[in-house]
Amino acid sequence: MKRRLMQLVTSILANSYLTGFFRGHIYRGPLKALCVPFLNCYSCPGAWGTCPMGAFQALAAGFSQTLSFYIMGLLTTLGALGGRLVCGWLCPFGFFQELLYAYRSKKWRLPRWLKILPPFVLALTLALPFLWRSGVGMGQPYFCRFICPAGTLEAGLTLLILRPQLRTLVGPTFLIKVAILVMLILLGVFIWRPFCQTLCPLGAFYGLFNNKSFWRLKVKESRCIKCQACSRSCPAGLVPFIEANASGCVRCLQCTKVCPTGALTFGCAVDYAPFRTETGG
């Protein structure tokens, strides 16, 4: 409940520039210099901040091919602190997918092999704007342009509704993006966060730090009775008592709630009181 509330508040706050929705333009003030830590398209009429993945690619794709230390530093810092905590607690698009998944229907799990996709998507997202450039020396934000469903929903479709003159620009690329969004929405009813589990480059980046982050899951092996309650409850299809901090874990903490013996806990590794009691540290 606390997590849902956080997700709701963040989603509203990040997209609360209401003038943009009424007038069909975007916020152009100084707050746009700040990157939000989650996927939230900066061309959304309601967005106050800038999407880190979009800005990283846009800077890399320019003539000067800027590698943004600011964005990499911000994401690395947040990753080191909580891994994918941002995905589970703050990301508006993740929240949107969880709302879809809340619809009562048969639920499926993604095949495990699909979970190898995110690192590849991340590598391509970061590298292609530098490497694949036109004759005049410009790259493109390829992930934003061809895939990002958050951008299609928050910016593309919203702006097409608010600014009818833009509709003349709709072409095959945009239609492909809409098809990806529709497919993810449909899958999202049956599969938990399909985009986050397979295609999100930002989640993949944070996932690199899940094992090392300060705030992370801990398993007290002496208490674990291997009852599998955690793995049955994990929406990402992980086996928390074996792979507590795997890159797919978004820290929803469902496993800690269902564990009957309290073997799974979440906390800061520096001052980890529940753990300290047992180890005497």
CA-closest candidate to residue 69, choices 115, 26, 30, 35:
35
Q: What is the DSSP letter of 36?
A: P
Residue 161 as a binder of other proteins (CB under 8 A): the answer is no
Residue 151 as a binder of other proteins (CB under 8 A): the answer is yes
Rounded to a whole number of angstroms, the minimum distance from the CB of residue 149 to other proteins is 11
Rounded to a whole number of angstroms, the minimum distance from the CB of residue 94 to other proteins is 20
| Contact pick of 159, 252, 255, 264 for other proteins (by CB under 8 A) | 159
What DSSP letter does each residue of 59-78 carry, written as one string? Answer: HHHSTT----HHHHHHHHHH
Rounded to a whole number of angstroms, the minimum distance from the CB of residue 103 to other proteins is 27
79 or 248, CB closer to other proteins?
79
Show the site string, 180-209: x = touches other proteins by CB under 8 A, - = not.
Answer: -----------------------------x
2 or 222, CB closer to other proteins?
222
| Contact pick of 1, 69, 113, 165 for other proteins (by CB under 8 A) | 69
The one segment of 3-11, 26-34, 101-109, 115-123 that binds other proteins by CB under 8 A: 26-34
Show the site string, 29-48: x = touches other proteins by CB under 8 A, - = not.
Answer: -x-xxxx-----xxx-----
E strand or H helix at 95, and its extent? helix 92-101
Q: How far is CA 173 from CA 146, 150, 156, 159, 198, in A?
A: 7, 15, 12, 16, 21
Show the site string, 252-281: x = touches other proteins by CB under 8 A, - = not.
Answer: -----------------xx-x--xx--x-x
The three-state (H, E, C) secondary structure of 164-211, written as one string: HHHHHHCCHHHHHHHHHHHHHHHHHHHECCHHHHHCCHHHHHHHCCCC
Residue 182 CB neighbour total at 10 angstroms = 12
Describe the crossing of helices 2-14 and 92-101 by its angle, rounded to 10 degrees: 130
Q: Which amino acid is at 267?
A: G
Residue 55 as a binder of other proteins (CB under 8 A): the answer is yes
Residue 73 as a binder of other proteins (CB under 8 A): the answer is yes
Q: How far is CA 206 from CA 50, 56, 162, in A?
A: 18, 15, 34
CA-closest candidate to residue 238, choices 222, 225, 221, 219:
219
Residue 58 as a binder of other proteins (CB under 8 A): the answer is yes
Residue 3 as a binder of other proteins (CB under 8 A): the answer is no
Q: How far is CA 96 from CA 44, 69, 134, 173, 211, in A?
A: 15, 30, 35, 23, 26
Rounded to a whole number of angstroms, the minimum distance from the CB of residue 231 to other proteins is 22
E strands, the chain, are 215-219, 264-268
Rounded to a whole number of angstroms, the minimum distance from the CB of residue 271 to other proteins is 8
Residues that bind other proteins (CB under 8 A): 25-28, 30, 32-35, 41-43, 49-50, 54-55, 58-59, 66, 68-81, 140-141, 144-146, 148, 151-152, 155-156, 159, 166, 169-171, 173-174, 176-177, 209, 211-214, 269-270, 272, 275-276, 279, 281
